[in-house]
Amino acid sequence: MKNKIFYEKLLNIIAVLLILFIIFNVSINFFYWSDGWTEILWYCDFAAILLSLGILFKKNYLISGVLITAIPAQFFWILDFAIKILGFGGFGRTTWMFSLPILSILPSVIIHLALIPIAIYATILYGFNRKGYFVAVGILLFTMIMPFFFSAQDDNINCIFYSCDVNFENSATYSFLGIPSYSIQYIILIALRWVFFGTVTYFALLKMYRSLFKHVKVF
C-alpha cells in the first residue's frame, strides 16, 4: 500500500512537470512563431494535457485513451528523430527541428518522447480501461477536425493537409492513394486511417494486458 502511494505521488509530480513543459512549449511557439492558441491543437500537446488530467484525477479511461493513440501517433516521429540523431537522413518530419536553437525545440522533444512511457506507467498503476477506446477515437477525430477549421494550412497541424514527411514546397503535388493533399477527401481518409491504427492498437493492448501482463487490471 505504501509503495502504491509513493508511485502515485511520483506520477502526480510527473504529470505536473508535463503540464509545465506543455505551457513552456506553447509559449515558445507563440513568441517564436506567433502560432497563437492553435498550437494546443497539435496532438502531442493535446494528448499530454489529457494524460496529465487523467493522472491527477485518477481517470484511467483518459490514460488508456492517450496510450491507445500515442503508440501509432508518436511512433514514426520518435523513429524519425532517432534516425536523425544517429546521423542518417530519416523520413523528413523532424528535419526542420535540427536547424533551430535547442531551447526552442527541447520542450516539444521531451513531450514527444515522454508521452508513451508515462502513459504505460500510469496504465500499470491505474489499470487499462476499455472505455479508453472511445476516448481514443474522440482524440483522433478532435485533432483532425479542429485544425481543419481553425488552423492555417501551412502550419499543417497533425499532418491533416499533407504528409509531415513532405516539404511545404512540394505539398501541393502530394497525394495519398491517389487522393490529392488539401482536399476534404484527403482529410477524411487520414482521419479514418488514424482511427484504424487506434483500433488495432486498442486490441493489441487489450490482448497484451490480458495475456502477458495479467497483474495490470482491465476494466
pLDDT tens-digit series, residues 50-63: 999 999 999 999 99
Mean pLDDT (the chain) is: 90
C-alpha cell at position 151? 488552423
Confidence bin at 1 (pLDDT 50/70/90): low
Residue 82: per-residue pLDDT: 92
Task: Supply the pLDDT for residue 168.
Answer: 74
Rounded CA gap, 215 and 213, in Å?
5
Q: What is the pLDDT of residue 33?
A: 64
Percent of the chain with pLDDT over 90: 60
Q: How far apart are CA 48 and CA 120, in angstroms?
A: 13
Q: Tell me which residue has cell 485544425.
A: 147
Percent residues over pLDDT 70 in the chain: 95
Residues present in the chain in total: 219
pLDDT per position as a tens digit, 166-200 = 887 777 888 888 899 999 999 999 999 999 999 99
pLDDT number for residue 2: 62
Higher pLDDT, residue 88 or 131: 131
Nearest-angstrom CA–CA distance, 174 and 166 = 8
Q: Which long-range contacts (CB under 8 A, 24 or more apart) does 105-111 make?
A: 107/21, 107/22, 107/24, 107/25, 107/28, 108/25, 108/44, 109/81, 110/21, 111/18, 111/21, 111/22, 111/25, 111/44, 111/45, 111/48
Domain edges within the chain: 2-211
Stated pTM of the model: 0.93
